[in-house]
Amino acid sequence: MDVTIKDIITTSISIASLALSGYALWVVQFRHGRLKMTQPTLVCLKREDPSMRPKIFLRPLLYTTGSKVRVVQNMYLNVRQDYGTHTFDFWGHTESGKLTLGSGLFVGSTGVASDHHFNPREGLENFVYGGGNYLIEVFATIVGRHKPEKLTELTFTVPNEQAAELVQIPRRALFLYWNARTRSYDGNVEIQPPA
């Protein structure tokens, strides 16, 4: 059996083509990728009118690193402040400009940008937005997975003067805008319009 250089090159190219085709099939058909979240441009601390329940909403882009769609079953926040850690697990998001109860969200590689609203369950009506350092951890539960995935951590400081306004005047909201230059959030207290 006489093997020539031409046969070796042809066989090598065929094997490389088969491997590349297998990799492309895996990427397109089987690879789910990870669910990711961009740095939210806006984070808001407020109370809902008229119930006065605490609410946190933020506006990020959710996307996947793979070509397959991921389905977010639920999202929640762990809010750590000087006074303790609280879970905000009642989730809603905007859909076509309308706030809907979060019970599933399709997220593909092109992403989904919307406002995500979080309230605590009953029993935290006396929650206070106190002054000091905050750490908010954003978690998502994905269909088919048992353990929630942490998407990001947000850190910021609420000055005592702004915290006092939030506590004393119910219709005040603290809007925290991402500052790309300082890589931190700048807070501004604003009046909420009545419901």
Tens-digit pLDDT profile for residues 74-86: 899 999 988 888 8
The pLDDT value given to residue 104: 77
The pLDDT value given to residue 176: 93
Tokens coding 14? 């065929």
The residue segments making up the domain with residue 24 are 1-30
Instruction: Tell me which of 149 and 31 has the higher pLDDT.
Output: 149
Residues 55 and 12 in one domain: no
Cβ distance 111 to 35 under 8 Å?
Answer: no
Residues 11 and 40 in one domain: no
Residues 12 and 55 in one domain: no
Q: How confident is the model at residue 29 (pLDDT cuts 50, 70, 90)?
A: low
pLDDT tens across 82-101, in order?
888 889 988 888 877 777 77
Q: How confident is the model at residue 70 (pLDDT cuts 50, 70, 90)?
A: confident
Q: Strand pairing of 90-95 and 116-119? A: antiparallel
**Against a cut of 0.75, is the pTM above it?**
yes
**pLDDT at residue 153 greater than cutoff 60:** yes
**pLDDT at residue 156 greater than cutoff 90:** yes
Q: How confident is the model at residue 23 (pLDDT cuts 50, 70, 90)?
A: confident
Residues 144 and 108 in one domain: yes
Residues 1 and 50 in one domain: no
The total number of structural domains that make up the chain: 2
Residues 79 and 11 in one domain: no
Residues 26 and 96 in one domain: no
Tokens coding 52? 């006065």
Residue 178 sits in a domain whose CATH number is: 2.60.40
Q: What is the 3-state secondary structure (H, E, C) of the chain?
A: CCCCHHHHHHHHHHHHHHHHHHHHHHHHHHCCCCEEECCCCEEEEEECCCCCCEEEEEECEEEECCCCCEEEEEEEEEEEECCEEEEECEEEEEECCEEEECCCEEECCCCEECCEEEECCCCCCCCCCCCEEEEEEEEEEECCCCCCEEEEEEEEEECHHHHHHHHHCCCEEEEEEEECCCCEEEEEEEECCCC
Residues 49 and 122 in one domain: yes
Tokens coding 66? 């793979």
Residues 48 and 23 in one domain: no
Residues 25 and 45 in one domain: no
Residues 89 and 25 in one domain: no
**pLDDT at residue 32 greater than cutoff 80:** no
Q: How confident is the model at residue 138 (pLDDT cuts 50, 70, 90)?
A: very high
Residues 47 and 98 in one domain: yes
The pLDDT value given to residue 26: 62
